[in-house]
Amino acid sequence: MKQYSIVLILISALFISACNKSQSSLQSEISDMEMSVESNNKLDTANCDSLISLYKNYCILYKDDTICADYFFKAAELSAKAGKYQQAIELYGNTQRFPVYRKVARALFMQGFIAENNLGDKNAAREYYNRFLIKFPQHKMANEVKMLIQSLNMTDEMLIQNLKRQNDTLVNANQ
């Protein structure tokens, strides 16, 4: 029985060691791919897709690792740059699993921003922006988000008139 316990402990230690090695090698592969993507002056969608896949695979394998929040955020940024807006929204949403992540508020804001500006989905944008205000009412972007919600209800003509009024007010205040 004692020998069985020792063998079991050794096997467990080897398994943990193998997992850690594959985790660190995957992180190294991600780091190398990040440098490759960043060194390119123009967007290489194939490399972006590969890097996004690496991020996602890492987060599937090591879902509780806090670095996943950053990987999801980076994958979302790349997806948005590549014009994959729905994927970007989903990836930004994955950061919400990590409520203490330093960019979690920005990720939620970006979901609304992409829904509004890239997908033209004002209802989804309103939902994301309202969620932002509920979760982060004191955030430095809260006032901007409130204005964005108001602008969602305006036509383009109304927005132009509103901007002209604001501009006139600023001009008159500076005279």
* Domains along the sequence of the chain with CATH: 28-169 (1.25.40.10)
Rounded to two decimals, what is the model's pTM? Answer: 0.79
* Residue 12, pLDDT score: 45
Residue 27 φ/ψ region, left for φ over 0, alpha for ψ in the -120 to 50 degree band, beta for the rest: alpha
**CB neighbour list of residue 59: distance below 8 Å, 6 or more residues apart:** 65, 68, 71, 72, 94
- Region 2-29 average pLDDT: 60
Band of the pLDDT at 133, cuts 50, 70, 90? very high
Residue 67 and residue 101 in contact, taking contact as beta carbons nearer than 8 Å: no
- Region 123-152 average pLDDT: 96
Range of weakest confidence among 27-31, 69-73, 79-83, 152-156:
152-156
Residue 172 to residue 175: CA distance in whole angstroms: 5
Band of the pLDDT at 21, cuts 50, 70, 90? low
**160-169 residue pLDDT tens:** 887 788 778 8
Q: What is the CB neighbour count within 10 angstroms for residue 92? A: 28
Map tokens 């394998």 to a residue.
Answer: 61
- Region 8-35 average pLDDT: 68
Sign of the dihedral defined by the CA atoms of residues 77, 19, 31, 37, in that order: negative
Say yes or no to pLDDT of 104 above 70.
yes
Provide the residue type at 30 as one letter.
I
**31-70 residue pLDDT tens:** 999 998 888 878 888 899 999 999 999 999 999 999 999 9
